[in-house]
Structure 1
Amino acid sequence: MTPVFGHGHLRLYLLKLLDESPKHGYELIQALSERFGGTYAPSAGTIYPRLAKLEDEGLVTKAADGRKTVYEITDAGRAELASREGELNSIESDLTDSVRRLADEVRSGVGEAMKSLRADLASAARQAREATDATSQSYSSWFAFDPTEDARGEPRSGADARPAGETSASAEASRDASRNEIRDVDIALAEFRQSVRTALRSRGARASVPAGTAAAFARRLDEVRASLLDDLKK
């Protein structure tokens, strides 16, 4: 992301914010976020070391307010602001440009994320269609097998033959129901796979994926697979 403050400028801008009113660290972070329209908010690790340095230089003081620490500008801090008024005006101008650049970067990032999401959704839909087609093709031939015929297509005899009065309607309905179940499982698997991939990519874009994620994922899949296979054996 584009740097927001030049060297030493954040330190001076903190003095400006404290000159407006005493604030604790979180209020300073919120104030900066508001100035940037939510496109930038410094971390506590950025703010507090600078406040500590300002305190060491005698430019701010701090006092406990319950569990919070409130910072207040000193006369020496106001004197520094006054002596660097021109530099502060330049910082304000630079901040306007920074807000514009950050907004452009956010819009660009959102646009790229939407493109990636659309591509992922299209890929998931294509995989689901392919899975459905493959399932229909592979299982249609299996379910087309007529148990009243032998390998040569001739009627079976004896115990293997279907009773003369039995119709094929119930058998066909059962085959249709099985095909539908298998198709829905394949579609669910494709959608599950794509949703997990999208979630992992999104996390990877924001922060590192936690160590052990793959092992935990594999372990949970093994548990689900074992449970489902047990159900299918019943």
Structure 2
Amino acid sequence: MTPVFSHGDLRLYLLNLLDEGPRHGYDIMQALSDRTGGTYTPSAGTVYPRLAKLEEEGLVTKSVDGRKTVYEITPAGHAEVTARAGDLEGIEASLTDSVRLIADEVRGSVREAMRSLRADLAAASREEQSSATPPPASDDPRVSSREQVHRADAAVSEFRAKIRSDLRSHVARGGELAAATIDDLTSELDRLSRDLIRTLRG
């Protein structure tokens, strides 16, 4: 997946966030997520070592406020942010491009997954129709309909379990999950629901 920050850019971006005012670690991670539209949510293992390095360089200080550790930029850190204003503009521009590319990649993956799901459902339907034997004339159609409802329940449950597993595995591996991705998924599911309703109503 397209990286959000190039090498060294995150360091300067953290300084820039602290130049806006003191922040605790979680607030910094949340700010990074907010400013990338949710496509980049760094882990504590990414942010805190960089903050410690900035502290070693004398660019930030930290203090304890209750249970929280608050980081604050030093005059030396502010001077670096000011001196590298041009670099920050470039980072902001690259960040916008990276976020757009990531969103496009994830939306493409969701669309491909939905196409695959529709193809699998269509193939299963064709296979069922070709292998099914006509029920005896005396069979109650309501019994057959209830059987199909059970099949539909099983298919929906399997799909739900697979999507949950894939999403959780993606996030657990450090992947980002944008709101636009879930919006696309919801839209596709709504569309499938509408198609099914139209089919049922004939």
User: Residue 91 in 1 paired to residue 91 in 2?
Assistant: yes
Aligned to 1:23: 23
Paired residues in the alignment total 170
**Partners in 2 of 1:18 and 1:197 — Cα distance?**
46
| Structure 1 residues 197 and 127, CA gap change in structure 2 (3 angstroms) | farther
Distance change in 2, residues 1:12/1:20 (3 Å): same
Quick one: which of 142, 162, 167 aligns to 1:201? 162
More displaced, 90-99 or 10-19? 90-99
Letter in 2 for 1:70: V
Q: Structure 1: give runs of 5+ residues left out of the alignment.
A: 145-174, 210-234
Higher RCO by CA contacts (8 Å cutoff, separation 6 or greater): 2
* Whole-Å separation in 2 of the counterparts to 1:208 and 1:37: 21
Q: Aligned to 2:2, what secondary structure does the other structure show?
A: coil
Give every structure 1 segment of 4 or more consecutive aligned residues whose post-TM-superposition deviation is greater than 4 Å.
123-131
What is the CA-CA distance between 1:20 and the residue it aligns to? 0.6
How much has 1:9 moved relative to structure 2?
A: 0.8
**Equivalent position of 2:103 in the other structure:** 103
Give 1:80's aligned amino acid.
Answer: E
In the alignment, what sits opposite 1:180?
Answer: 142
Unaligned runs of 5+ in 2: 171-202
2:3 match: secondary structure: coil
Task: After TM superposition, give the deviation of residue 77 of structure 1 in Å.
Answer: 1.2
| Corresponding position: 1:47 with 2:47 | yes
Per the alignment, residue 175 of structure 2 pairs with: none
Kindly provide the CA deviation profile for residues 21-79 of structure 1, in whole angstroms up to 9, marking residues without a partner as x. Answer: 11112221222222222222222222122112222222111222232222111112112
- Aligned-pair identity (%): 56
> How many angstroms apart in 2 are the aligned matches of 1:126 and 1:66?
63
In structure 1, what residue type is equivalent to 2:159? T
Q: Residues 82 and 201 from structure 1, CA distance in 2 versus in 1: closer, same or farther, beyond 3 angstroms?
A: same
Distance in 2 (alpha carbons) for counterparts of 1:106 and 1:187: 33
Alignment correspondent of 2:198: none
User: Residue by residue, what CA displacement relative to the aligned partner does 1:115-173 show, whole Å, maximum 9, x if unpaired?
Assistant: 23433554565577678x54x53xx2xxx7xxxxxxxxxxxxxxxxxxxxxxxxxxxxx
Relative distance call for 1:46 and 1:33 in structure 2 (3 A) is same
Q: In terms of Rg, which structure is larger?
A: 1
**TM-score normalised by the chain length of structure 2:** 0.69
What secondary structure is seen at the aligned counterpart in 2 of 1:21?
Answer: coil
Contact 1:15 1:77 in 2 (8 A): yes
CA distance in 2, matches of 1:24, 1:127: 58
- Which residue is equivalent to 1:170? none
Report how far residue 16 of structure 1 moved: 0.2
CA RMSD of aligned residues (A): 2.9
Distance 1:47 1:128, change over 3 A: farther
Corresponding residue of 1:190: 151
Aligned mates of 2:8, 2:35 — CA distance in 1: 18
CA distance in 2, matches of 1:47, 1:122: 46
Indicate the SS of the match to 1:41. coil
- Counterpart CA distance in 1 for 2:64 and 2:113 is 44
Contact 1:62 1:72 in 2 (8 A): yes
TM-score normalised to structure 1 length: 0.61
